[in-house]
Each structure stands twice: as C-alpha cells, then as structure tokens.
Amino acid sequence: MSEHKVFLGAVLLLATLLGGCRLEFWFSSDDDDFWTDATGVWQGTVTETGVGSFAVTGLLITGQLHVFSLTDGPVIGGTYAMSHDGLNASTTHYANAIAAASGTLSATVSTRSWINGSFTTSDSGSGTLSLRYDTLTTRGASLPTIGGNWFVTDGSGSLGLAIDSTGAIHGSDTSGCIYSGQVDIIDPAVNLYGIRLTASSCGTADGHYAGHATLQDTNLTNGRLVFMVSNPSRAIVRTLDRT
C-alpha cells in the first residue's frame, strides 16, 4: 500500500474516532501571499544612478504606489501587484511636477518592516529603493482627524486647504489656482487617506488628480498633512501644517 493511502486512511480513522469534533489542519508552505503586505506609510531613500540619494516618503495601499521626496528629489507614482514577497509596479516618474518617463519597479517586501528594490525608466534611468515601515501607519484614519484648515508657505508661494466634516476640500494658492476635491477613508485602521483633487485657474496644471495623504506630527499630534496626487501628465506633492 502506498504511503499516500496510508496517510489518508489514518486521517479517516481519526475523524471517525473523534465523531462530530471539528478538525483543523495547518500545513507549512512557501506560499506566503496571504502574509506579505506592502500597505503602509514608509520612510527611506531612493538612490538614482548618477544623480544621488534622496530621503523619500512612500504611501502604498490597495495596489497604488506613491513614493516622493518632500524637497527636490524623485516623485514616483504607479500601480503595483504582490506575488509572494515580491512587489512589481508600473510607474510614472515626474520631474519638476511634470511626467518625464515611465518605468518598472521590482522589490522584496517584509510586512510592516522593509521594502527593498530597484527600478528602471524609459529615459535610461535606474536606481534603488530602500524603505522602512513607519509605525504611524497604525494610528488609523477618520474624517474628524483630517478635518480642519491646512496651510503652507514655501518657495512655491502659499497654499491653504480646508477639509470639512464630510471630507470635502476647498482651497487656493498665491498663484491663483483654485482647488476642490474629496478625502476618502480607505481603511479606518490605516493612517492613509484617498485624495481626489481638481485644480482650476492654474493654466497647464488644470485637471483632475488622485493620490494619497497621511498625517504626521509637528508640535501637534496629527499636525502635518503630507500628500501626493497625480495624473498621467503632472503631480502635486505638498506638506501643510494645521492652523
């Protein structure tokens, strides 16, 4: 008799002896699709070959990827899929807020720990990515938490946004741009928000944008709003403080 038949026979005998008792079996496997998750707020570095290394923030959830510098470094948006512990993304790379190249990004993910990978772009660029999980991710999300008035003054001028109790966005900047949109709760347990933004009276920057935001701390808990929104042509990356 084969070992396979002996094993099945033993299982059936055990089930008979236990009668109506519930049986549960656990099998070890190399298939860890159910356990590897890139969702979260991430902090780390993007190194562009021949250019340099830049501190970046990564916002990843529901197959959407935003990795961006809050200064003058790389801005990357895209969609990703997971297989085991591997992440593969199709990306758009922006320079000075304008789409400059398409790309592909491949990385290895350790859930709530790290993401390490590399990328290539259609303009012959390449580089590496190293991110570490930000525990602020687990702070959660709600409309009352993100609601309020947000403002920034920097080298690009001033920008003010108001988010009301329904998540509706209204605002403007010193360049004359008018902003409207909506904040959505994706997962109440994750400090990531969906943002849809429409810019008008902005000339070539007019259009519809979508992306994600997270809340960070200043001298106030949840006192800083960080977001990236994009479309196939342009991206907007901003950091605003609560007023």
Domain boundary, last residue among 89, 112, 133: 133
Domain boundary, last residue among 80, 112, 133: 133
Q: Is there a domain that residue 126 lies in?
A: yes
State the average pLDDT over residues 29-57.
86
State the average pLDDT over residues 78-89.
97
C-alpha distance across the termini of the chain, in Å: 77
User: What are the residue ranges of helices labelled H in 58-167?
Assistant: 143-146
Helical (H) or strand (E) element with 119 = strand 114-121
pLDDT in tens, 139-158: 999 999 999 999 999 877 89
Identify whether residues 110 and 162 lie together within a single domain: no
Identify whether residues 101 and 165 lie together within a single domain: no
Identify whether residues 73 and 99 lie together within a single domain: yes
Domain boundary, last residue among 74, 108, 133: 133
Identify whether residues 208 and 128 lie together within a single domain: no
In this prediction the pTM is 0.85
Please say if the pLDDT value at position 1 is more than 60.
Answer: no
Please say if the pLDDT value at position 87 is more than 60.
Answer: yes
Query: What is the rounded average pLDDT for all residues in the chain?
Result: 89
CATH code, domain carrying 96: 2.40.128
* Res 6: pLDDT: 39
Q: How far apart are CA 159 and CA 155, in angstroms?
A: 11
Identify whether residues 44 and 78 lie together within a single domain: yes
Please say if the pLDDT value at position 31 is more than 80.
Answer: no
For the chain, the domain total comes to 2
Secondary structure string (H, E, C) spanning 139-184: HCCCHHHHCEEEEEEECCEEEEEEECCCCEEEEEECCCCEEEEEEE
Q: How far apart are CA 167 and CA 69, in angstroms?
A: 26
Identify whether residues 96 and 124 lie together within a single domain: yes
Identify whether residues 55 and 123 lie together within a single domain: yes
Domain with 179, as residue range(s), is 139-242
State the average pLDDT over residues 84-112.
97
Identify whether residues 126 and 155 lie together within a single domain: no
Q: How far apart are CA 136 and CA 42, in angstroms?
A: 9
Q: Is there a domain that residue 180 lies in?
A: yes
Identify whether residues 44 and 91 lie together within a single domain: yes
pLDDT in tens, 177-225: 999 999 999 999 999 999 999 999 999 999 999 999 999 999 999 999 9
Identify whether residues 175 and 111 lie together within a single domain: no
Identify whether residues 105 and 144 lie together within a single domain: no
Q: Is there a domain that residue 27 lies in?
A: no
Identify whether residues 143 and 129 lie together within a single domain: no
